[in-house]
Chain A
Amino acid sequence: METLVAITKSNWKSALINLIDEYVVYAPYRFWNQLEYGRVTKDNIGDIVYNQPKPSSPLKSLFLPIRENVVNSSQPAQKRIIMGAPACDLSALSILDEIYLNHDYPDPNYMKYRENTILIGFDCHTTNEHCHCTSYGFHPYPTENSDLVISLIDDNFLISAQSDKGLSFLEKYLSNEEQAPDEQKEKATEIRENIEHDLREKNKDLPDYDKTGEVVMQCGDDIWDRYSDTCVSCGACSAICPTCSCFLLIERPEFEKVRSLDTCQYPGFERVAAGEDPLRPLPKRFRNRYMCKYVWKPEKFQSKACTGCGRCIEACIGEINKNDLFKEQFKNLSIEA
């Protein structure tokens, strides 16, 4: 970790007080028993939660709002700072960028949000039950798509820059801070290694991302029937997924359009005029999500379509655990091989 500066709690607080005049700043807060992004104000700076795993809403929600007017909206022009994104969410931006910043048709709103946002990622100092980023080739600390990264060690914020934007931010706002003491740097590195080790240990039976496609392909109808049995098509798994990005355009007066996030888990997603709907049967719809993330998108895009955040498992009211499916079927695959 090329830590550039260490900043004390009180200095960080005064830096934030200045920043909220210039930027709309978001950070993770605890609501009941979960984390959620909230707007930082002078009064709640002390309540920001550092270095805990993922807020319940994915980072994507701040770039692709659930509903948004894509013809006429001033929101994307706001200068923002988003603090507290975990690595799994930051990495998930890569596939969203591939889709939304596609050079043929860059999406104006998404592009503005991206350009106008400074992303400050957090290392994860603990994990949630279903976190499995390391199985899919990610680390529990940001390595891409963040401008700055924070690890809070012994009341010192160790801040490193990961982009030019982050570097100039440091120079502008935190230029006269101290270099981090060696023992704190070492401590930060040690936490990274420990968390990484814990995650690998608890997910050792999970196939790696490059094996997931094979596992999904070999699942027969019986598997999809069984695992989709308690699915109620609520779409929560897609709504909270940092990489799911499908939407429906809704026509408004004045030829305006509202983009409303959508999912293949809802009936009718692929329905065509004659009434034909290849995804009407629930198990086919359920399977579609797995095929999309682990077979089709990997063929089409460079970036991974699942970053192992585990939210879809936590959010499912049918208690469907995709990792159970992967473990069970991976075992079968290994036995056959």
Chain B
Amino acid sequence: MNTATLDLYTPVKATLTKVIEESPTIKTFVLKPEQEFHFKTGQFIELAMEGIGEAPFTPSSSPLVSDQIEVTIMKAGFVTEKIHKLSEGAVLGIRGPYGRGYPLEEMYGKQVLVMGGGCGFAPIRSLLYNLEAEKDKIKKLTFCYGSKTPKDCIYKDYIDHLRAVDKFEVFRSVDKADETWEEREGVVTNLLDEIKINVEESVAVVVGPPIMMKFSVQKLLELGFPGHKILLSLEKNMSCGLGKCGHCMMGKYFVCKDGPVFTYEEIKDQPDIWK
């Protein structure tokens, strides 16, 4: 147990030091916690706005940095709208980190295929930072990213950076292109037709909206990926993050504690996995 969870419901205070606009509906919030905050990539935090509400987010920053934490948030409802209105200096609360993150050991020595959709890039970025730092340990990394329109593509500078990283390759697609777009058009799963993957020595990671995850998994299975080599990060309604409140229950799992990262094999028989 880490110190942050000793008093389960009291958050660590964190000051907002910077707000980065990523797209019309997505912003990245750079936070400086009062004390060092450690997490593993894929784990999530509960971020609280005092007196307003709390919601789960997966940090988008590197798990190797502990004095600062970045959270990329899409405006989606009550709490996220309020968070979007905040400016530098605001104090938020962080509980966590919670759950089971990505099993990096499973990626060592392998080709890693990462598929991201929309705001799913946020948790993926944290994974990519981590894998970049450990790139000696993997064979290759292929990142396929899809978003609705070019305007919705986030982390543009980071994409440029990734393209220059040895062993990394990046493919992007938008559902609907415009005149500025020079990459693919169509759903993200189409990108799988273009890339070369050796399924035998690969692990796939899929993060995005439910519908995107559903079709990506279907396609990966068709390509011959076994269920235990497909890693998913699930999003469910969550309140406590501690495996108690029941909101995130998906069959026999508490997604917050047993997940949020699961292999497809683990969850394929559970109810409503894509909802």
Binding site for B on A (CB under 8 A): 70-71, 99-100, 102, 104-105, 107-108, 245-249, 251-255, 257, 262, 264, 269-274, 276-278, 291-292, 296-297, 299-300
Residues of A contacting B243 with CB < 8 Å?
99, 102, 104-105
Chain A interface: which of B37-45, B50-58, B193-201, B260-268?
A: B50-58
Docked Cα-Cα span, A53 to B268, in Å, equals 43
Interface of A is mostly: loop
Which residues of B from 1 to 20 have beta carbons under 8 Å from A?
1, 5, 7-11, 13
Known: A247-B245, A251-B48, A251-B53. A272 touches B11 (CB 8 A): no
**Complex Cα–Cα for A242 and B102 (A):** 37
Check B5–A105 contact: CB distance below 8 A: yes
Interface residues of B in 196-227 (CB under 8 A from A): 209-210
User: Which residues does chain A contribute within 8 Å of B80, judged by CB atoms?
Assistant: 273
Shortest distance from the beta carbon of B106 to any chain A beta carbon, whole Å: 22
Interface of B is mostly: loop
Residues of A within 8 A of B48 (CB): 251, 255
Please, which residues of chain A bring their CB within 8 A of the CB of B251? Answer: 291, 296, 299
Expressed in whole angstroms, the Cα–Cα distance for A296 and B258 within the complex equals 14
Name 4 extra pairs, CB < 8 A, besides A71-B7, A251-B53.
A248-B245, A251-B48, A262-B239, A296-B251
A300 nearest in chain B by CB position: B252
B235 at the interface (CB under 8 A from A): yes
Give, as a whole number of angstroms, the nearest-CB distance from B222 to chain A. Answer: 25
For A297, list chain B residues within 8 Å (CB): 252
Q: Which residue of B lies closest to A104 (CB)?
A: B1
**Chain B residues within an 8 Å CB radius of A253:** 50-51
Q: Decide if B49 is an interface residue (CB 8 Å cutoff).
A: yes
B98 to chain A, nearest CB (A): 9
* A254-B50, A264-B246, A273-B77 known; A248-B9 Cβ under 8 A: no
CA distance A271 to B53 in the complex (A): 16
Q: Do the beta carbons of A249 and B240 come within 8 Å of each other?
A: yes
Q: How far is the CA of A134 from the CA of B2 in the complex (A)?
A: 43
The answer to whether A71 touches B249, judged by C-beta atoms less than 8 angstroms apart, is no
Most buried by B among A105, A247, A255, A278: A255
Whether B51 contacts A274 by the Cβ 8 Å rule is no
In the complex, the answer to whether B257 meets A271 with C-beta atoms within 8 Å is no
B209: nearest chain-A partner, CB-CB: A274
Q: Is B159 an interface residue (CB 8 A)?
A: no
- The residue in chain A whose Cβ has the minimal distance to the Cβ of B80 is A273
Question: Out of A245, A257, A264, A274, which one reaches B244, CB within 8 Å?
Answer: A245
B272 within 8 A of A: yes
Q: A269 touching B247 by the CB < 8 A rule?
A: yes
Q: Decide: B236 and A252 in contact? CB cutoff 8 A.
A: no
Compute how far the CA of A35 lies from the CA of B51 in the bound complex, rounded to whole angstroms. Answer: 38
Residues of B participating in the A interface, judged by any CB pair closer than 8 Å: 1, 5, 7-11, 13, 48-54, 74, 76-77, 80, 93, 209-210, 235-237, 239-240, 242-247, 249, 251-253, 257, 271-272, 275
**Nearest CB in chain A to that of B1: its residue:** A104
- Do B244 and A251 touch (CB < 8 A)? no
Residue of B nearest to A299 (CB): B252
Minimum C-beta distance from A2 to chain B (A): 36
Residues B246 and A255 in contact, CB atoms below 8 Å apart: no
Residues in chain A near residue B7, CB distance under 8 A? 71, 108
Report the bound CA distance from A269 to B242 in whole Å: 17
Q: How far is the CA of A254 from the CA of B245 in the complex (A)?
A: 22
The 8 closest A-B pairs by CB, nearest first: A246-B246, A273-B76, A278-B275, A278-B272, A299-B252, A253-B51, A105-B242, A257-B9
- Name which residue of chain A comes closest to B240, CB basis: A249
The reply to whether B246 and A105 form a contact with Cβ atoms under 8 Å apart is no
For the complex, what is the distance from the CA of A252 to the CA of B210, rounded to whole Å?
A: 32
Q: Is the CB of A296 within 8 A of B249?
A: yes
For A271, the chain B residues whose CB sits under 8 A away are 237
Within the complex, the shortest CB–CB distance from B187 to chain A, in Å, comes to 17
Question: B14 to chain A: closest CB distance in Å?
Answer: 11
A251 and B237: CB pair below 8 A? Answer: no
A296 to B236, CA, bound (A): 17
Q: Min CB distance, B76 to chain A, in Å? A: 4
Query: With A251-B52, A270-B237, A274-B76 known to touch, is A70 a contact of B246 (CB < 8 Å)?
Result: no
Do A107 and B8 touch across chains, with their CB atoms under 8 A apart?
Answer: yes
CB-CB under 8 A from A70, the residues of chain B are 8-9
* CB pairs A–B below 8 angstroms (20 shown): A71-B9, A102-B244, A105-B244, A108-B8, A249-B240, A251-B49, A252-B51, A257-B9, A264-B246, A270-B236, A270-B237, A270-B247, A272-B236, A272-B275, A273-B77, A274-B210, A292-B246, A296-B249, A296-B251, A300-B253
Q: Which residues of A contact B77 (CB under 8 A)?
A: 273
Contacts of A262 in B (CB 8 A): 239, 245-247
Which of A104, A245, A249, A270 is in CB contact (< 8 Å) with B9?
A: A249
A100 touches B244 (CB 8 A): yes
Query: How far, in Å, is B215 (CB) from chain A's closest CB?
Result: 16
Docked CA distance A262–B245 (Å): 8
A143 vs chain B, min Cβ distance (A): 26
Residues of B within 8 A of A100 (CB): 244
Q: Which residues of B contact A273 (CB under 8 A)?
A: 74, 76-77, 80
